[in-house]
Homo-oligomer: A and B are copies of this chain.
């Protein structure tokens, strides 16, 4: 089975590694508009070979779109000539606008997936073994995908060790705003709040594990996250508003020295870890 991976960064490259390590004889063909990425993908053994033209990718049994979410929407418009047996899977962090954008003639070919994994790093050199192992992948609006395509996608994600969760694209985007997109906005804001102080170096010299964890994803790709924020704008704004309510509550309790209430509010927050 041939798998064409469009986008050879963290997600696409790590998928190449995962598929190549399986017993199933997948033949992995990479594609990236960045020539350096193509060279690195070969050097790092992320794919079996790199495609010279998109036609080679269009001819694959499975096509993976592992590029920023606006790029996914554009690419889908150029995949309308695929065979009816072809499976197209996107790995984007947003789902509603992508699902809406799929040309009707290839809707059955298409499977919308969001693997809930990643790191703050990007590009082919960021690709790592086991990125997907034991992680959740959300599969959205599966009833609109063809039977064959559902089967192929589920099989691939199971083979690389993922836990499958099924959800509507709308619900996914609301959940993803809370669990991923808004937290990225917080981490970027935290980093900038420190960077705008008089001497950020003397502050960061004191950084312990808490700050490192909170600011880690502030290292994420602006190119990728600009697109995510654009596509999930409304849910992101809602999630930020909920967060702001809580932070304002905290701030008021500190200002007004309501220590018992603050203690209870912190205890409420502790409870997250009963369900996480």
Residues of A within 8 A of B (CB): 116-119, 135-136, 138, 165, 175-176, 178-180, 182-197, 200-220, 222-223, 225-226, 229-230, 233, 236-237, 239-240, 242-247, 249-251, 254-255, 257, 259, 262-273, 275-276
Q: List the 5 closest pairs (A to B, CB-CB), nearest first.
A: A222-B266, A191-B269, A189-B246, A191-B272, A213-B213
Q: Give the residue of B119, B190, B206, B263 whose beta carbon is less than 8 angstroms from that of A243.
A: B190
**The residue from B184, B190, B245, B271 contacting A195, defined by CB atoms under 8 A apart:** B271
Majority secondary structure of chain A interface residues (helix, strand, loop or mixed): helix
A181 CB, min distance to chain B CBs, angstroms: 10
CB pair A179–B193 under 8 Å, yes or no, is: no
A188 touches B265 (CB 8 A): yes
Known: A239-B193, A254-B233. A273 touches B211 (CB 8 A): no
| CB pair B237 A254 closer than 8 Å | yes
Q: Known: A197-B178, A242-B193. Is A213-B217 also a contact (CB below 8 A)?
A: yes
Report yes or no: B276 in contact with A215, Cβ–Cβ below 8 A: yes
Number of copies: 2
CA of A183 to CA of B183, assembled, Å: 12
Assess whether B276 is in contact with A204, with CB atoms less than 8 Å apart. yes
Q: Whole-angstrom distance between the alpha carbons of A255 and B202 in the complex?
A: 34
Task: Name the residue among A185, A200, A266 with the largest chain B CB count within 10 angstroms.
Answer: A266
14 A-B contacts (beta carbon < 8 Å): A116-B206, A118-B208, A176-B206, A179-B194, A179-B211, A180-B210, A186-B186, A186-B214, A188-B246, A191-B270, A225-B266, A226-B266, A229-B259, A236-B254
CA distance A263 to B107 in the complex (A): 32
Cβ-defined contact, B218 with A269, below 8 A? yes
Q: Find A116's partner among B207, B216, B268 (CB 8 Å cutoff).
A: B207
> Is the pair A226, B273 in contact by a Cβ cutoff of 8 Å?
no
What's the least CB distance linking A227 to chain B, in Å?
9
